[in-house]
């Protein structure tokens, strides 16, 4: 899914691709690069009580393990 430009675009894309079909997750695990992390998305996480966990920036293999976890 491509995130459209504009305000709250990440929130809309995330909700459409994940939140609507599967429900809002309890935890999101990501790398520490916050370039896409808008204030709107941060508010979405807080509003929905979603815990944000970060892997170490030099440990990208951790993300791969999370991506294949069921």
Percent of the chain, pLDDT > 70? 77
pLDDT band, very low/low/confident/very high, at 30 (cuts 50, 70, 90): confident
- What is the residue-averaged pLDDT of the chain? 81
pTM: 0.70
Question: Which own/partner pairs from 39-45 qualify as long-range (CB within 8 Å, at least 24 positions apart)?
Answer: 40/7, 40/8, 40/10, 40/11, 41/8, 41/10, 41/11, 41/14, 44/11, 44/14, 44/15
Residue ranges per structural domain of the chain: 24-68
The predicted structure's pLDDT at residue 68: 54
Lowest mean pLDDT among 12-21, 26-35, 47-56: 26-35
The predicted structure's pLDDT at residue 69: 52
């Amino acid at each position: 899914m491509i995130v459209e430009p504009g305000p709250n675009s990440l929130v809309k894309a995330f909700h459409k691709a994940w939140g609507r079909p599967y429900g809002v997750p309890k935890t999101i695990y990501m790398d520490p690069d916050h370039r896409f992390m808008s204030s709107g998305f941060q508010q979405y996480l807080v509003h929905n009580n979603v815990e944000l966990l970060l892997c170490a920036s030099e440990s990208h293999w951790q993300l791969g393990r999370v991506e294949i976890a069921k």
